[in-house]
Structure 1
Amino acid sequence: MNLQYISKLICGLLIGITFASCQKMDRPAMNIIPDDTARINGPLQLYLPFEDDLTDSAQYNKASEAGTFSFIEGPKGKAFKGTANSYLQYPLPQRLADAGSFTISFWMNTAKHTGGAQGIFVLPNTGDFWGNVFAIVEGNDSPTDNSMLLKFTFMGNWIEFNGNNGLSRLPDMYGKWKHLTFTYDGTTSVFAAYLDGVKLDLPQNVSNRTKNNAPLGALKFANPSRFVIGGFQQHIGISGARDSWMLSYTGALDQFRVFTRALSPQEVNNLYTGR
Protein backbone atom coordinates (compact mmCIF):
# COMPACT_ATOMS: atom_id res chain seq x y z
CA MET A 1 0.00 0.00 0.00
CA ASN A 2 1.61 3.33 -1.08
CA LEU A 3 1.92 6.43 1.09
CA GLN A 4 -0.37 8.51 -1.14
CA TYR A 5 -3.25 6.07 -0.63
CA ILE A 6 -2.71 5.97 3.14
CA SER A 7 -2.73 9.78 3.29
CA LYS A 8 -6.01 9.95 1.36
CA LEU A 9 -7.51 7.31 3.65
CA ILE A 10 -6.53 9.20 6.80
CA CYS A 11 -7.87 12.47 5.42
CA GLY A 12 -11.16 10.81 4.55
CA LEU A 13 -11.49 9.40 8.04
CA LEU A 14 -10.75 12.76 9.64
CA ILE A 15 -13.32 14.52 7.43
CA GLY A 16 -15.93 11.87 8.32
CA ILE A 17 -15.26 12.21 12.02
CA THR A 18 -15.42 16.01 11.81
CA PHE A 19 -18.65 15.88 9.79
CA ALA A 20 -20.22 13.46 12.22
CA SER A 21 -19.18 15.59 15.17
CA CYS A 22 -20.65 18.67 13.53
CA GLN A 23 -23.90 16.84 12.90
CA LYS A 24 -24.13 15.85 16.59
CA MET A 25 -23.48 19.41 17.64
CA ASP A 26 -26.25 20.66 15.37
CA ARG A 27 -28.85 18.51 17.16
CA PRO A 28 -30.74 20.31 19.97
CA ALA A 29 -29.84 19.08 23.44
CA MET A 30 -32.44 17.03 25.27
CA ASN A 31 -34.20 19.10 27.92
CA ILE A 32 -36.48 16.95 30.06
CA ILE A 33 -38.76 19.17 32.14
CA PRO A 34 -41.27 17.69 34.59
CA ASP A 35 -44.85 18.55 33.75
CA ASP A 36 -45.36 20.82 36.76
CA THR A 37 -48.70 22.08 35.46
CA ALA A 38 -50.15 18.57 35.37
CA ARG A 39 -48.75 17.84 38.82
CA ILE A 40 -50.05 21.02 40.43
CA ASN A 41 -53.49 20.74 38.83
CA GLY A 42 -53.79 16.98 39.21
CA PRO A 43 -56.22 15.36 41.64
CA LEU A 44 -53.49 14.00 43.94
CA GLN A 45 -52.56 17.05 46.01
CA LEU A 46 -50.83 15.43 48.99
CA TYR A 47 -49.00 12.11 49.11
CA LEU A 48 -46.90 11.08 52.09
CA PRO A 49 -45.23 7.68 51.62
CA PHE A 50 -42.97 8.28 54.65
CA GLU A 51 -40.01 6.40 53.20
CA ASP A 52 -37.54 7.58 55.86
CA ASP A 53 -38.55 11.03 54.66
CA LEU A 54 -41.26 13.61 55.37
CA THR A 55 -41.44 14.97 51.81
CA ASP A 56 -44.82 15.34 50.13
CA SER A 57 -44.28 13.35 46.93
CA ALA A 58 -47.23 15.03 45.16
CA GLN A 59 -46.16 18.67 45.42
CA TYR A 60 -42.54 18.18 46.60
CA ASN A 61 -43.17 20.14 49.77
CA LYS A 62 -41.14 19.63 52.94
CA ALA A 63 -42.70 19.25 56.36
CA SER A 64 -42.00 21.36 59.40
CA GLU A 65 -41.90 18.94 62.30
CA ALA A 66 -42.15 19.28 66.05
CA GLY A 67 -41.32 16.85 68.82
CA THR A 68 -39.79 13.42 68.45
CA PHE A 69 -40.94 10.81 65.96
CA SER A 70 -39.53 7.83 64.11
CA PHE A 71 -39.95 5.69 61.01
CA ILE A 72 -41.05 2.09 61.43
CA GLU A 73 -41.98 -0.75 59.09
CA GLY A 74 -45.33 -0.06 57.45
CA PRO A 75 -47.68 -1.87 55.08
CA LYS A 76 -45.51 -0.56 52.22
CA GLY A 77 -41.94 0.28 53.11
CA LYS A 78 -41.57 2.65 56.04
CA ALA A 79 -44.22 4.53 58.02
CA PHE A 80 -44.38 7.57 60.30
CA LYS A 81 -44.63 6.87 64.05
CA GLY A 82 -45.78 9.73 66.24
CA THR A 83 -45.30 10.44 69.92
CA ALA A 84 -47.10 12.45 72.58
CA ASN A 85 -45.27 15.64 71.56
CA SER A 86 -44.98 15.26 67.78
CA TYR A 87 -46.87 16.67 64.80
CA LEU A 88 -46.10 17.67 61.21
CA GLN A 89 -47.26 20.60 59.13
CA TYR A 90 -47.13 21.03 55.36
CA PRO A 91 -47.70 24.02 53.09
CA LEU A 92 -51.23 24.16 51.73
CA PRO A 93 -51.55 21.92 48.64
CA GLN A 94 -52.08 24.10 45.57
CA ARG A 95 -55.63 23.15 44.56
CA LEU A 96 -57.08 21.95 47.85
CA ALA A 97 -58.81 25.17 48.93
CA ASP A 98 -61.37 25.09 46.11
CA ALA A 99 -61.40 21.34 45.51
CA GLY A 100 -65.17 20.93 45.65
CA SER A 101 -64.73 17.20 46.34
CA PHE A 102 -62.15 15.15 48.21
CA THR A 103 -60.73 11.76 49.04
CA ILE A 104 -58.55 11.29 52.13
CA SER A 105 -56.95 7.87 52.41
CA PHE A 106 -54.33 6.41 54.75
CA TRP A 107 -53.07 3.42 56.70
CA MET A 108 -53.06 3.65 60.49
CA ASN A 109 -51.81 1.46 63.29
CA THR A 110 -52.29 2.64 66.85
CA ALA A 111 -52.60 1.44 70.43
CA LYS A 112 -55.39 2.37 72.81
CA HIS A 113 -55.05 5.56 74.79
CA THR A 114 -56.99 7.04 77.67
CA GLY A 115 -58.04 10.59 78.36
CA GLY A 116 -58.61 13.01 75.51
CA ALA A 117 -58.71 12.77 71.72
CA GLN A 118 -55.74 12.23 69.42
CA GLY A 119 -55.69 14.27 66.21
CA ILE A 120 -54.86 12.20 63.13
CA PHE A 121 -54.88 15.17 60.73
CA VAL A 122 -56.52 18.54 60.11
CA LEU A 123 -56.87 21.02 57.27
CA PRO A 124 -56.98 24.18 59.41
CA ASN A 125 -59.38 27.07 59.24
CA THR A 126 -58.02 30.23 60.83
CA GLY A 127 -61.57 31.51 61.41
CA ASP A 128 -62.98 28.41 63.11
CA PHE A 129 -62.23 26.49 66.30
CA TRP A 130 -62.36 23.04 64.69
CA GLY A 131 -60.87 23.51 61.23
CA ASN A 132 -62.08 22.62 57.73
CA VAL A 133 -61.50 18.87 57.74
CA PHE A 134 -60.14 16.64 60.48
CA ALA A 135 -60.19 13.17 62.01
CA ILE A 136 -59.70 12.35 65.68
CA VAL A 137 -59.58 9.18 67.78
CA GLU A 138 -61.27 9.25 71.18
CA GLY A 139 -59.82 7.35 74.12
CA ASN A 140 -60.60 3.70 74.84
CA ASP A 141 -59.80 2.27 78.27
CA SER A 142 -61.65 -1.03 77.86
CA PRO A 143 -59.45 -4.14 78.22
CA THR A 144 -61.81 -6.18 76.02
CA ASP A 145 -63.37 -3.77 73.49
CA ASN A 146 -61.09 -3.30 70.46
CA SER A 147 -63.47 -1.01 68.57
CA MET A 148 -62.61 2.62 67.87
CA LEU A 149 -64.62 5.79 68.38
CA LEU A 150 -63.43 7.87 65.45
CA LYS A 151 -64.82 11.26 64.43
CA PHE A 152 -64.46 12.66 60.93
CA THR A 153 -65.61 16.20 60.22
CA PHE A 154 -65.66 18.43 57.14
CA MET A 155 -67.14 21.93 56.89
CA GLY A 156 -69.20 21.40 60.04
CA ASN A 157 -70.48 17.96 58.98
CA TRP A 158 -69.78 15.60 61.87
CA ILE A 159 -69.61 11.87 61.13
CA GLU A 160 -69.10 10.09 64.45
CA PHE A 161 -68.49 6.36 64.53
CA ASN A 162 -69.72 6.05 68.09
CA GLY A 163 -72.43 3.38 68.00
CA ASN A 164 -75.29 5.87 67.66
CA ASN A 165 -77.38 7.10 64.72
CA GLY A 166 -76.66 3.97 62.68
CA LEU A 167 -72.88 4.43 62.83
CA SER A 168 -71.11 1.58 64.57
CA ARG A 169 -67.75 2.00 66.22
CA LEU A 170 -65.01 0.87 63.83
CA PRO A 171 -64.27 -2.79 64.62
CA ASP A 172 -60.94 -4.38 65.57
CA MET A 173 -58.92 -1.23 65.02
CA TYR A 174 -56.10 -1.41 67.55
CA GLY A 175 -52.67 -3.00 67.32
CA LYS A 176 -52.76 -3.70 63.57
CA TRP A 177 -52.61 -1.89 60.24
CA LYS A 178 -56.01 -0.70 59.06
CA HIS A 179 -56.82 1.24 55.89
CA LEU A 180 -59.30 4.13 56.07
CA THR A 181 -60.70 6.25 53.26
CA PHE A 182 -63.20 9.11 53.34
CA THR A 183 -64.71 10.61 50.19
CA TYR A 184 -67.10 13.41 49.37
CA ASP A 185 -68.47 14.08 45.88
CA GLY A 186 -69.46 17.73 45.44
CA THR A 187 -71.51 16.94 42.34
CA THR A 188 -73.80 14.52 44.19
CA SER A 189 -73.34 15.72 47.80
CA VAL A 190 -72.60 12.12 48.82
CA PHE A 191 -70.17 11.17 51.58
CA ALA A 192 -68.67 7.68 51.82
CA ALA A 193 -66.31 5.85 54.17
CA TYR A 194 -64.25 2.73 53.57
CA LEU A 195 -62.48 0.33 55.91
CA ASP A 196 -59.83 -1.97 54.44
CA GLY A 197 -61.04 -1.21 50.93
CA VAL A 198 -64.70 -2.04 51.64
CA LYS A 199 -67.37 0.65 51.52
CA LEU A 200 -69.23 0.99 54.81
CA ASP A 201 -73.01 0.85 54.82
CA LEU A 202 -73.93 4.34 56.02
CA PRO A 203 -77.48 5.57 56.68
CA GLN A 204 -78.79 8.08 54.16
CA ASN A 205 -78.80 10.92 56.67
CA VAL A 206 -75.04 10.44 56.92
CA SER A 207 -74.15 9.74 53.28
CA ASN A 208 -76.45 12.37 51.69
CA ARG A 209 -75.18 15.72 52.94
CA THR A 210 -77.46 18.74 52.98
CA LYS A 211 -77.46 22.35 54.11
CA ASN A 212 -80.66 24.35 54.64
CA ASN A 213 -82.64 21.40 53.25
CA ALA A 214 -80.70 21.49 49.97
CA PRO A 215 -77.79 19.35 48.73
CA LEU A 216 -74.52 20.54 50.23
CA GLY A 217 -72.86 20.78 46.82
CA ALA A 218 -69.25 21.63 45.98
CA LEU A 219 -67.02 22.54 48.91
CA LYS A 220 -64.89 25.63 49.26
CA PHE A 221 -62.67 25.42 52.30
CA ALA A 222 -62.46 28.58 54.38
CA ASN A 223 -59.18 30.26 55.36
CA PRO A 224 -56.99 27.21 54.71
CA SER A 225 -53.35 27.75 55.51
CA ARG A 226 -51.48 24.51 56.24
CA PHE A 227 -52.09 20.77 56.48
CA VAL A 228 -51.32 19.18 59.85
CA ILE A 229 -50.49 15.51 60.43
CA GLY A 230 -50.66 14.05 63.94
CA GLY A 231 -52.30 16.93 65.80
CA PHE A 232 -54.92 19.67 66.00
CA GLN A 233 -54.73 23.08 64.37
CA GLN A 234 -54.15 24.50 67.85
CA HIS A 235 -50.82 22.65 67.86
CA ILE A 236 -49.58 25.19 65.31
CA GLY A 237 -51.19 28.19 67.00
CA ILE A 238 -54.41 28.45 64.98
CA SER A 239 -57.61 29.28 66.92
CA GLY A 240 -55.88 29.76 70.22
CA ALA A 241 -53.91 27.58 72.56
CA ARG A 242 -54.25 23.81 72.65
CA ASP A 243 -56.70 22.46 75.24
CA SER A 244 -55.49 19.67 77.53
CA TRP A 245 -57.70 17.08 75.83
CA MET A 246 -56.15 17.80 72.42
CA LEU A 247 -53.49 15.12 72.07
CA SER A 248 -50.91 14.34 69.41
CA TYR A 249 -51.38 11.11 67.50
CA THR A 250 -49.04 8.49 68.95
CA GLY A 251 -49.77 5.77 66.39
CA ALA A 252 -48.30 5.12 62.96
CA LEU A 253 -49.43 6.40 59.54
CA ASP A 254 -48.49 5.36 56.02
CA GLN A 255 -49.45 6.10 52.41
CA PHE A 256 -51.36 9.24 53.35
CA ARG A 257 -53.12 10.69 50.29
CA VAL A 258 -55.44 13.63 49.63
CA PHE A 259 -57.25 13.92 46.28
CA THR A 260 -59.44 16.72 44.95
CA ARG A 261 -62.08 14.31 43.70
CA ALA A 262 -64.10 11.44 45.13
CA LEU A 263 -62.48 8.15 44.16
CA SER A 264 -64.71 5.30 43.06
CA PRO A 265 -65.12 2.16 45.20
CA GLN A 266 -62.80 0.28 42.83
CA GLU A 267 -60.14 2.98 43.04
CA VAL A 268 -60.32 2.93 46.83
CA ASN A 269 -60.00 -0.84 46.84
CA ASN A 270 -56.97 -0.52 44.56
CA LEU A 271 -55.30 1.75 47.14
CA TYR A 272 -55.93 -0.91 49.77
CA THR A 273 -54.85 -3.97 47.77
CA GLY A 274 -51.95 -2.17 46.11
CA ARG A 275 -50.69 -0.87 49.45
Structure 2
Amino acid sequence: MKINISMIKKAFGIVFVSIAFIGCQEMDRPTLGDYPKDQNPVGGPLKFYVPFDDNTTDPLKFAVDNIRAKFPNDNQFTQTDGITGKGAQGPADHIQKYITYSKPNDFAAEAKSFTIAFWEKHNGATKGAEYPFSLPSSNGHWSGGTMMLMFDGSEIKFVIVDKNMSDPWFVWNEAGLMASLTDNQWHHCAFVYDASTSAFTFYKDGVVVSTKMWTDHGNVNLDDSKVAGLRIGSGPGNTPNDWLSNNWLGSLDQFRMYATALTAIEVNQLVTGKL
Protein backbone atom coordinates (compact mmCIF):
# COMPACT_ATOMS: atom_id res chain seq x y z
CA MET A 1 0.00 0.00 0.00
CA LYS A 2 1.30 3.38 -0.91
CA ILE A 3 1.58 5.80 1.99
CA ASN A 4 0.49 9.35 1.24
CA ILE A 5 3.13 11.42 3.03
CA SER A 6 1.34 14.64 2.26
CA MET A 7 -1.85 13.46 3.94
CA ILE A 8 0.04 12.34 7.04
CA LYS A 9 1.72 15.74 7.36
CA LYS A 10 -1.62 17.48 7.09
CA ALA A 11 -3.12 15.19 9.75
CA PHE A 12 -0.24 15.86 12.17
CA GLY A 13 -0.60 19.55 11.49
CA ILE A 14 -4.29 19.51 12.37
CA VAL A 15 -3.61 17.58 15.62
CA PHE A 16 -0.79 19.98 16.61
CA VAL A 17 -2.90 23.06 16.02
CA SER A 18 -5.79 21.52 17.97
CA ILE A 19 -3.56 20.75 20.96
CA ALA A 20 -2.07 24.22 20.87
CA PHE A 21 -5.52 25.78 20.72
CA ILE A 22 -6.77 23.73 23.68
CA GLY A 23 -3.61 24.50 25.67
CA CYS A 24 -3.99 28.22 25.07
CA GLN A 25 -7.64 28.43 26.05
CA GLU A 26 -8.34 30.42 29.27
CA MET A 27 -10.31 27.55 30.75
CA ASP A 28 -10.65 28.48 34.48
CA ARG A 29 -8.40 31.49 34.69
CA PRO A 30 -9.70 33.99 37.28
CA THR A 31 -10.17 37.60 36.42
CA LEU A 32 -7.34 39.95 37.35
CA GLY A 33 -9.13 41.11 40.47
CA ASP A 34 -9.32 37.55 41.82
CA TYR A 35 -5.56 37.07 42.13
CA PRO A 36 -4.27 37.17 45.74
CA LYS A 37 -2.55 40.45 46.55
CA ASP A 38 0.78 40.62 48.38
CA GLN A 39 0.14 42.75 51.46
CA ASN A 40 3.84 43.50 51.94
CA PRO A 41 5.85 42.95 48.74
CA VAL A 42 9.64 42.66 48.82
CA GLY A 43 10.92 46.09 49.85
CA GLY A 44 7.49 46.97 51.26
CA PRO A 45 6.82 49.12 54.32
CA LEU A 46 6.75 46.30 56.90
CA LYS A 47 10.44 45.79 57.59
CA PHE A 48 10.45 43.49 60.62
CA TYR A 49 7.69 41.27 61.98
CA VAL A 50 7.73 38.63 64.72
CA PRO A 51 4.34 36.98 65.44
CA PHE A 52 5.80 34.45 67.96
CA ASP A 53 3.32 31.87 66.66
CA ASP A 54 5.52 28.97 65.55
CA ASN A 55 4.57 25.98 67.69
CA THR A 56 8.02 24.79 68.73
CA THR A 57 10.12 24.35 71.83
CA ASP A 58 13.13 25.85 70.04
CA PRO A 59 13.43 29.45 71.33
CA LEU A 60 15.21 30.58 68.15
CA LYS A 61 12.46 29.25 65.90
CA PHE A 62 9.44 30.71 67.70
CA ALA A 63 10.96 34.20 67.54
CA VAL A 64 11.91 34.21 63.84
CA ASP A 65 11.31 37.39 61.84
CA ASN A 66 8.75 36.66 59.12
CA ILE A 67 9.96 39.31 56.65
CA ARG A 68 13.42 37.93 55.88
CA ALA A 69 13.37 34.72 57.93
CA LYS A 70 15.89 36.26 60.31
CA PHE A 71 16.47 34.05 63.34
CA PRO A 72 17.46 35.67 66.64
CA ASN A 73 21.02 35.31 67.87
CA ASP A 74 19.63 34.56 71.32
CA ASN A 75 16.20 34.26 72.91
CA GLN A 76 15.80 34.10 76.68
CA PHE A 77 12.04 34.66 76.61
CA THR A 78 9.58 31.77 76.71
CA GLN A 79 6.38 31.11 74.79
CA THR A 80 3.04 31.96 76.34
CA ASP A 81 -0.53 32.45 75.19
CA GLY A 82 -0.69 35.56 73.01
CA ILE A 83 -3.43 37.85 71.77
CA THR A 84 -3.99 35.20 69.10
CA GLY A 85 -1.95 32.02 69.08
CA LYS A 86 1.33 32.32 70.95
CA GLY A 87 3.25 35.24 72.41
CA ALA A 88 6.56 35.81 74.20
CA GLN A 89 6.89 35.94 77.99
CA GLY A 90 9.67 37.93 79.62
CA PRO A 91 11.62 36.51 82.58
CA ALA A 92 10.96 37.25 86.24
CA ASP A 93 14.04 39.42 86.77
CA HIS A 94 16.07 42.16 85.07
CA ILE A 95 19.34 40.26 84.53
CA GLN A 96 19.82 41.12 80.84
CA LYS A 97 17.46 38.61 79.32
CA TYR A 98 16.09 39.44 75.89
CA ILE A 99 15.54 38.41 72.29
CA THR A 100 18.35 39.78 70.16
CA TYR A 101 18.83 40.03 66.38
CA SER A 102 21.81 41.14 64.32
CA LYS A 103 19.79 43.89 62.62
CA PRO A 104 16.19 45.10 62.20
CA ASN A 105 16.60 44.26 58.48
CA ASP A 106 16.63 47.53 56.48
CA PHE A 107 14.32 49.44 58.83
CA ALA A 108 16.92 52.03 59.92
CA ALA A 109 18.24 52.46 56.37
CA GLU A 110 14.82 52.97 54.77
CA ALA A 111 12.72 54.71 57.41
CA LYS A 112 11.90 58.38 56.97
CA SER A 113 8.64 58.01 58.83
CA PHE A 114 8.05 54.91 60.97
CA THR A 115 5.59 52.89 63.03
CA ILE A 116 6.43 50.53 65.89
CA ALA A 117 3.45 48.35 66.83
CA PHE A 118 2.96 45.43 69.23
CA TRP A 119 0.67 43.87 71.81
CA GLU A 120 1.74 43.91 75.47
CA LYS A 121 0.48 42.44 78.72
CA HIS A 122 1.92 43.40 82.11
CA ASN A 123 0.68 42.44 85.57
CA GLY A 124 1.03 45.49 87.80
CA ALA A 125 3.25 48.55 87.61
CA THR A 126 6.63 48.21 85.95
CA LYS A 127 9.69 47.84 88.16
CA GLY A 128 11.44 50.96 87.00
CA ALA A 129 12.39 51.16 83.32
CA GLU A 130 11.25 48.15 81.30
CA TYR A 131 11.87 48.02 77.55
CA PRO A 132 9.60 46.44 74.92
CA PHE A 133 12.43 47.02 72.41
CA SER A 134 15.63 48.94 71.66
CA LEU A 135 18.19 49.41 68.89
CA PRO A 136 21.73 49.22 70.38
CA SER A 137 24.26 51.39 68.59
CA SER A 138 27.95 52.16 68.17
CA ASN A 139 27.16 55.85 67.57
CA GLY A 140 28.91 56.98 70.76
CA HIS A 141 25.74 58.24 72.41
CA TRP A 142 25.83 57.92 76.21
CA SER A 143 22.84 55.53 76.13
CA GLY A 144 24.48 53.08 73.73
CA GLY A 145 21.34 53.19 71.60
CA THR A 146 19.76 54.59 68.44
CA MET A 147 16.16 54.04 69.53
CA MET A 148 14.51 52.73 72.68
CA LEU A 149 11.08 52.50 74.27
CA MET A 150 10.60 52.50 78.05
CA PHE A 151 7.60 51.81 80.22
CA ASP A 152 8.94 53.58 83.28
CA GLY A 153 6.77 53.55 86.39
CA SER A 154 4.11 56.19 85.69
CA GLU A 155 5.08 57.14 82.13
CA ILE A 156 6.19 55.99 78.69
CA LYS A 157 9.41 57.33 77.20
CA PHE A 158 10.48 56.94 73.58
CA VAL A 159 14.04 58.03 72.79
CA ILE A 160 15.45 58.53 69.28
CA VAL A 161 19.07 59.34 68.45
CA ASP A 162 19.53 60.56 64.86
CA LYS A 163 22.68 60.88 62.73
CA ASN A 164 23.34 64.36 64.14
CA MET A 165 23.02 63.06 67.72
CA SER A 166 19.76 64.88 68.26
CA ASP A 167 18.15 62.83 71.04
CA PRO A 168 14.66 63.99 72.04
CA TRP A 169 12.70 62.15 74.72
CA PHE A 170 9.01 61.83 73.88
CA VAL A 171 7.04 61.29 77.09
CA TRP A 172 3.44 60.14 77.56
CA ASN A 173 2.27 60.48 81.17
CA GLU A 174 -1.44 61.13 80.86
CA ALA A 175 -3.49 60.42 83.98
CA GLY A 176 -4.34 56.75 84.36
CA LEU A 177 -2.41 55.73 81.22
CA MET A 178 0.12 53.39 82.81
CA ALA A 179 -2.43 51.82 85.15
CA SER A 180 -4.59 50.99 82.14
CA LEU A 181 -1.60 49.42 80.33
CA THR A 182 -0.48 47.25 83.25
CA ASP A 183 -3.80 45.67 84.27
CA ASN A 184 -2.79 42.14 83.21
CA GLN A 185 -4.80 42.40 79.98
CA TRP A 186 -3.58 42.52 76.38
CA HIS A 187 -3.26 46.03 74.96
CA HIS A 188 -2.14 47.21 71.54
CA CYS A 189 0.50 49.95 71.33
CA ALA A 190 1.43 51.83 68.15
CA PHE A 191 3.98 54.64 67.97
CA VAL A 192 3.69 56.52 64.67
CA TYR A 193 6.16 59.18 63.51
CA ASP A 194 5.12 61.14 60.39
CA ALA A 195 8.08 62.90 58.75
CA SER A 196 5.79 65.13 56.69
CA THR A 197 4.49 66.84 59.85
CA SER A 198 7.19 65.93 62.41
CA ALA A 199 4.34 64.60 64.56
CA PHE A 200 4.79 61.56 66.82
CA THR A 201 1.53 59.91 67.90
CA PHE A 202 0.92 57.15 70.45
CA TYR A 203 -2.14 54.94 69.95
CA LYS A 204 -3.42 52.70 72.75
CA ASP A 205 -5.85 50.02 71.56
CA GLY A 206 -6.37 51.99 68.36
CA VAL A 207 -7.20 55.27 70.08
CA VAL A 208 -4.91 58.32 70.06
CA VAL A 209 -3.44 59.04 73.49
CA SER A 210 -1.68 62.22 72.33
CA THR A 211 0.71 63.59 69.72
CA LYS A 212 4.14 65.05 70.43
CA MET A 213 6.05 67.29 68.01
CA TRP A 214 9.68 66.90 66.89
CA THR A 215 9.60 70.45 65.64
CA ASP A 216 10.65 70.84 61.98
CA HIS A 217 12.77 67.67 62.13
CA GLY A 218 11.34 65.95 59.07
CA ASN A 219 12.88 62.57 58.21
CA VAL A 220 13.83 60.51 61.25
CA ASN A 221 17.41 60.34 59.85
CA LEU A 222 18.77 57.25 61.59
CA ASP A 223 22.38 56.11 61.09
CA ASP A 224 21.97 52.54 59.89
CA SER A 225 25.75 52.01 59.77
CA LYS A 226 25.85 52.45 63.56
CA VAL A 227 22.84 50.28 64.44
CA ALA A 228 24.35 47.27 66.23
CA GLY A 229 21.26 45.08 66.48
CA LEU A 230 17.68 44.84 67.63
CA ARG A 231 16.56 43.73 71.08
CA ILE A 232 12.98 42.79 71.75
CA GLY A 233 12.27 43.00 75.47
CA SER A 234 15.37 44.88 76.62
CA GLY A 235 17.18 48.20 76.69
CA PRO A 236 20.43 48.91 74.80
CA GLY A 237 22.75 48.76 77.81
CA ASN A 238 25.41 46.12 78.45
CA THR A 239 25.87 46.35 82.22
CA PRO A 240 23.85 43.95 84.42
CA ASN A 241 21.45 45.71 86.81
CA ASP A 242 21.94 49.04 85.02
CA TRP A 243 18.63 50.74 84.18
CA LEU A 244 19.57 50.82 80.48
CA SER A 245 19.95 47.04 80.52
CA ASN A 246 16.60 46.16 82.11
CA ASN A 247 14.26 43.83 80.28
CA TRP A 248 10.50 43.54 79.90
CA LEU A 249 8.90 41.45 82.65
CA GLY A 250 5.53 41.08 80.94
CA SER A 251 4.40 39.47 77.68
CA LEU A 252 4.72 40.70 74.08
CA ASP A 253 3.08 39.64 70.83
CA GLN A 254 2.90 40.59 67.13
CA PHE A 255 5.95 42.90 67.09
CA ARG A 256 6.11 45.05 63.94
CA MET A 257 8.46 47.73 62.57
CA TYR A 258 7.25 49.75 59.56
CA ALA A 259 9.26 52.27 57.54
CA THR A 260 6.13 54.34 57.09
CA ALA A 261 3.59 56.19 59.21
CA LEU A 262 0.45 54.06 59.45
CA THR A 263 -2.84 55.90 59.26
CA ALA A 264 -5.34 55.81 62.11
CA ILE A 265 -7.45 53.39 60.06
CA GLU A 266 -4.46 51.06 59.53
CA VAL A 267 -3.61 51.10 63.23
CA ASN A 268 -7.20 50.29 64.09
CA GLN A 269 -7.15 47.35 61.67
CA LEU A 270 -4.26 45.83 63.64
CA VAL A 271 -6.33 46.17 66.80
CA THR A 272 -9.70 44.91 65.55
CA GLY A 273 -8.06 42.04 63.66
CA LYS A 274 -5.89 41.20 66.67
CA LEU A 275 -2.92 41.27 64.30
**1:272 alignment counterpart:** 271
CA offsets, 1:208-242, max 9 Å, x none?
212xxxx001122121121111111224xxxxx34
Residues 109/95 of structure 1: CA separation in 2 closer, same or farther (3 Å cut): closer
**1:88 alignment counterpart:** 99
How far is the alpha carbon of 1:125 from its aligned partner? Answer: 2.2
The answer to whether the aligner puts 1:227 opposite 2:216 as a matched pair is no
How far is the alpha carbon of 1:124 from its aligned partner? Answer: 2.1
8 Å CA contact retained: 1:40, 1:95 = no
**1:3 alignment counterpart:** none
The answer to whether the aligner puts 1:109 opposite 2:121 as a matched pair is yes
How far is the alpha carbon of 1:188 from its aligned partner? Answer: 1.8
The answer to whether the aligner puts 1:154 opposite 2:154 as a matched pair is no
8 Å CA contact retained: 2:172, 2:210 = no
- TM-score, normalised to structure 2, is 0.72
Query: Tell me, what secondary structure is at the counterpart of 2:159?
Result: strand
Query: Tell me, what secondary structure is at the counterpart of 2:237?
Result: helix
CA offsets, 1:103-143, max 9 Å, x none?
0000000123565311210022212233222111224xxxx
**1:251 alignment counterpart:** 250
The unaligned stretches of length 5 or more in structure 2 are 1-11, 21-39, 55-61, 162-166
What pairs with 1:43-62 in structure 2 (closer than 5 Å)? 43-52=45-54, 53-62=62-71
Task: Give the one of 138, 155, 168 matched to 2:152.
Answer: 138
How far is the alpha carbon of 1:149 from its aligned partner? Answer: 2.1
8 Å CA contact retained: 1:39, 1:58 = no
The answer to whether the aligner puts 1:129 opposite 2:128 as a matched pair is no
Query: 1:89 & 1:137 partners in 2: Cα distance?
Result: 19
Query: Tell me, what secondary structure is at the counterpart of 1:248?
Result: coil
- TM-score, normalised to structure 1, is 0.72
Give the aligned length. 223
8 Å CA contact retained: 1:161, 1:168 = no
Query: Tell me, what secondary structure is at the counterpart of 1:233?
Result: coil
Residues 250/114 of structure 1: CA separation in 2 closer, same or farther (3 Å cut): closer
Query: 1:161 & 1:169 partners in 2: Cα distance?
Result: 8
How far is the alpha carbon of 1:64 from its aligned partner? Answer: 1.7
**2:130 alignment counterpart:** 118
Query: Tell me, what secondary structure is at the counterpart of 2:242?
Result: coil
CA offsets, 1:135-166, max 9 Å, x none?
11224xxxxxxxx4221122322122235xxx
Residues 115/193 of structure 1: CA separation in 2 closer, same or farther (3 Å cut): closer
**Paired AA for residue 208 in structure 1:** M
The CA RMSD over aligned residues, in Å, is 2.9
Q: Identity percentage over the alignment?
A: 31
The unaligned stretches of length 5 or more in structure 1 are 1-14, 24-37, 140-147, 236-240
Query: 2:117 & 2:228 partners in 1: Cα distance?
Result: 20
